[in-house]
């Protein structure tokens, strides 16, 4: 049971980090419309 709790906690932390990284990534895209257009072309 303890192992399962550790795995779930680790997944929750990783999920939170991914969300934070994605939010920063989208903020950068919104601040730089030129790069956003290039990404959409790809």
Domain ranges of the chain: 1-41
- The confidence score (pLDDT) of residue 24 equals 92
Distance of CA 15 to the CA centre of its chain: 8
Tens digit of each residue's pLDDT (9 = 90 or more) over 1-42: 799 999 999 999 999 999 999 999 888 888 876 655 556 665
- The confidence score (pLDDT) of residue 34 equals 61
- The confidence score (pLDDT) of residue 18 equals 97
* 35: DSSP letter: H
- The confidence score (pLDDT) of residue 32 equals 76
Directed axis angle between helix 33-41 and helix 2-31, to 10°? 110
Confirm whether pTM is higher than 0.85. Answer: no
């Amino acid at each position: 049971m303890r192992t399962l709790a550790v795995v779930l906690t680790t997944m929750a932390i990783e999920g939170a980090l991914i969300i934070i990284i994605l939010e920063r990534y989208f903020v950068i895209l919104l601040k730089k419309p030129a790069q956003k257009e290039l990404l959409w072309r790809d």
